[in-house]
Amino acid sequence: MNIFAIFEARVREALESLVRSGTLPAGLDLSRVVVEPPRDPAHGDLATNAALVLAKEAKANPKALGEALAAELRTDSRITEASVAGPGFINLRLDPAIFHEVVRAVLADPAAYGRARMPGGKVNIEYVSANPTGPMHVGHGRGAVFGDALANLLAAAGRDVTREYYINDAGAQVDVLARSAHLRYREALGEPVGPVPEGLYPGDYLKPVGEALARAHGRALIDQPEAAWLPQVRATAIAMMMDLIREDLAALGIHHDVFFSEATLHGTGPGSVAALLADLRARDLVYEGRLPPPKGQVPEDWEDREQTLFRTKDFGDDTDRPLLKSDGSYTYFASDIAYHRDKFLRGATDLIDVLGADHGGYVKRMQAAVKAVTAGEATLDVKLCQLVRLLRAGEPVKMSKRAGEFITLREVIDEVGRDAIRFMMLFRKNDATLDFDLAKVVEQSKDNPVFYVQYAHARCHSVFRQAREAMPDEDLSAESLARDADLALLADSGEVEMMRLIAQVPRVLEAAAGAHEPHRLAFHLYEVASALHSFWNKGKDLPQLRFVNPTDRKSTRARLALVEALKGTLASGLAILGVTAPAEMR
């Protein structure tokens, strides 16, 4: 039950009535008309901008149009008050029975409440995609959590979602990985290798790879030239690094549907780079030409030469882009285009890439490329995740015993737990730098959002344990409470606020899914938790407002229905974020 959708439809009906009466002209664009919570809850339950956004097109005074629309809305028995504020906003107060229906809707199916069927084709979300050259660090974790929560959110909104990981198993970095693993292989065989040479990966995480190579090959790889042992060592190292990455992701509750190999793009299949170039040539989207030098300081490796260029400028990019290097090999951009084209060939029309903050310059060119290669049938949204500053009690944490250069994601998971990482990574917008304090996220206080929200859910369970102990003869099941609890008794301002926040969940889910911003849900769950805790504290001073009062069973049953709805709301929202909803916290 989405009261915002219900009353937005009612506003549109009222506008159509004003058209029929001649107050408004026909054919107005209603796409900008919304119904939303008022900025100040004291002003009402809902607000609409209809008069404000339609006045200019209708050649009407917005306040006068607002008065006419408000008069039309007052004829609805579900609306107890409609008033015009400011330049034309209309604030609405609803019959309390509307919020009682919301509570009963949650009690009927808490997991389904707020979920919608958003229109759109298949969604492909690519996230994490850390190079398989070592364990993941905390920065990777932010993109992993964001992408996974976004996938959950879109699935909750009824979208068909594929979760994808792009394995960078081609290029120079995996050759460096192979050489680093070969050094550890020689070490495992007892050879003195000395300090790890500059340019190779120094972390101890490659020692198990060297030991595995020694067990599998003995000394066979020692005397072979690099050209012979490199492919074998590379394959083993990549496979073991990906196993390590999968284990780290699983510890964070993250699983992908597809692990896509970059190396496959260099084959001959329909999704290959070769097939891409053939398609672009056939559509006259490639030409041979020269590019002007880059603005500002010219890089040392820049060449003024004729190149194979993609007409990305025709599709919104700043300049055309080269697809082939001077040695005839494909540019990284060519591989990236082929990869996104392959996603489209597999049926996805909504593409989402979750990338690190250093990929800002990549966005415009890739959106232009996707528009070009799919003939406008697919869209690309790139979500950039800013840096994570890892702290302990306010002091920077820098070094890892295992990785040698950075704190690994697994070390943080082992220290503070999956729930703290997931919630805190989502309690700030993805494009804002995040300070992650290892000491703060395990505090049991209001200042620790994950504890505060989980404790609200546990507190709901505590209320029911108390109620069953005080009233063992009562049927306190959700079905019984939904059937006969007198919700009209929920008249205190704190109770009304909790019902309002529950009623906002469908809108929050819809807006968060539409904007690709899961932090909106995390913020809302914190508001729900805060309202619950505030009312609990209110009951300490006013016994008549306590959730459980055996001498007033009607009020107790009404409040228990509300608590059950709050519990379901919190559990469902936390599940979308990938965070557990504990029944008890010690």
Please check whether residue 353 is in contact with residue 162, taking contact to mean a CB–CB distance below 8 angstroms: no
Burial of 442 per CB tally in 10 Å (0-12, 13-18, 19+): middle
Please check whether residue 351 is in contact with residue 287, taking contact to mean a CB–CB distance below 8 angstroms: no
Identify the DSSP state of 324: B
Give the pair of three-digit tokens for residue 375.
């003939």
Give the pair of three-digit tokens for residue 22.
């001649």
3-state class (DSSP) for residue 261: strand
**pLDDT digit string, tens, across residues 451-499:** 999 999 999 999 999 999 999 999 999 999 999 999 999 999 999 999 9
Please check whether residue 447 is in contact with residue 453, taking contact to mean a CB–CB distance below 8 angstroms: no
Residue 14: C-alpha distances to residues 17, 24, 48, 457 (Å): 5, 11, 12, 40
Is residue 82 included in any domain, yes or no? yes
278 half-sphere exposure, CB direction, 13 A CA radius: 8
Please check whether residue 130 is in contact with residue 136, taking contact to mean a CB–CB distance below 8 angstroms: yes
> What is the full per-residue pLDDT of the chain (586 aa) written as tens digits?
899 999 999 999 999 999 999 999 999 999 999 999 998 888 999 999 999 999 999 899 999 999 999 999 999 999 999 999 988 899 999 999 999 999 999 999 999 998 888 888 999 999 998 889 888 888 899 999 999 999 999 999 999 999 999 999 988 899 999 999 999 999 999 999 899 999 999 888 999 999 999 999 999 999 899 999 999 999 999 999 999 999 999 999 999 999 999 999 998 889 999 999 999 999 999 999 988 887 777 766 677 888 899 999 999 998 899 999 888 889 899 999 999 999 999 999 999 999 998 888 889 999 999 999 999 999 999 999 998 888 888 888 875 544 456 788 998 999 999 999 999 999 999 999 999 999 999 998 888 999 999 999 999 999 999 999 999 999 999 999 999 999 999 999 999 999 999 999 999 999 999 999 999 999 999 999 999 999 999 998 898 999 999 999 999 999 999 999 999 999 999 999 999 999 998 7
What CATH number is given to the structural domain containing 463? 1.10.730.10
Residue 522: C-alpha distances to residues 450, 525, 573 (Å): 9, 5, 8
Is residue 494 included in any domain, yes or no? yes
What is the pLDDT, as a whole number, of residue 404?
A: 55
What CATH number is given to the structural domain containing 71? 3.30.1360.70
Give the pair of three-digit tokens for residue 147.
């992408």
Q: How many domains does the chain have?
A: 2
Is residue 50 included in any domain, yes or no? yes
Give the pair of three-digit tokens for residue 484.
């006969």
547 half-sphere exposure, CB direction, 13 A CA radius: 22
Query: Which residue range(s) make up the domain with 486?
Result: 449-577
Is residue 354 included in any domain, yes or no? no
Domain boundary among 72, 95, 118: 95
What is the pLDDT, as a whole number, of residue 123?
A: 97
What is the pLDDT, as a whole number, of residue 401?
A: 47
Burial of 279 per CB tally in 10 Å (0-12, 13-18, 19+): middle
What is the distance between the alpha carbons of residues 539 and 463, in angstroms, rounded to a whole number? 12
What is the distance between the alpha carbons of residues 73 and 51, in angstroms, rounded to a whole number? 12
Strand-strand pairing, 348-356 and 122-126: parallel
Residue 428: C-alpha distances to residues 23, 422, 449, 490 (Å): 45, 11, 11, 33
3-state class (DSSP) for residue 396: strand
Is residue 62 included in any domain, yes or no? yes
Residue 71: C-alpha distances to residues 25, 74, 93, 100, 459 (Å): 18, 5, 13, 25, 44
What is the distance between the alpha carbons of residues 488 and 328, in angstroms, rounded to a whole number? 75
Domain boundary among 51, 73, 95: 95
Give the pair of three-digit tokens for residue 491.
């008249």
What is the distance between the alpha carbons of residues 169 and 143, in angstroms, rounded to a whole number? 20
Strand-strand pairing, 321-322 and 348-356: unpaired
What is the distance between the alpha carbons of residues 53 and 512, in angstroms, rounded to a whole number? 23
CA-derived radius of gyration, the chain: 29
Strand-strand pairing, 379-385 and 348-356: parallel
What is the distance between the alpha carbons of residues 501 and 522, in angstroms, rounded to a whole number? 13
Question: Which residues are within 8 A (CB) of 143 and not within 5 positions of it... i.e. 6 or more apart?
Answer: 127, 128, 354, 355, 356, 385
Please check whether residue 560 is in contact with residue 476, taking contact to mean a CB–CB distance below 8 angstroms: yes
Residue 180: C-alpha distances to residues 229, 257, 284 (Å): 12, 30, 44
Domain boundary among 95, 110, 139: 95
**Max CA pair span of the chain:** 93
Report the phi/psi class of residue 218: left, alpha or beta, with left for phi > 0 and alpha for psi in -120 to 50: left
What is the pLDDT, as a whole number, of residue 10?
A: 96
Please check whether residue 113 is in contact with residue 510, taking contact to mean a CB–CB distance below 8 angstroms: no
Give the pair of three-digit tokens for residue 260.
């896509």
What is the distance between the alpha carbons of residues 400 and 222, in angstroms, rounded to a whole number? 31
Please check whether residue 453 is in contact with residue 574, taking contact to mean a CB–CB distance below 8 angstroms: yes
Nearest to 37 by CA among 113, 76, 89, 88: 89
What is the pLDDT, as a whole number, of residue 301?
A: 64
Give the pair of three-digit tokens for residue 501.
């926040």
Please check whether residue 451 is in contact with residue 443, taking contact to mean a CB–CB distance below 8 angstroms: yes
Is residue 482 included in any domain, yes or no? yes
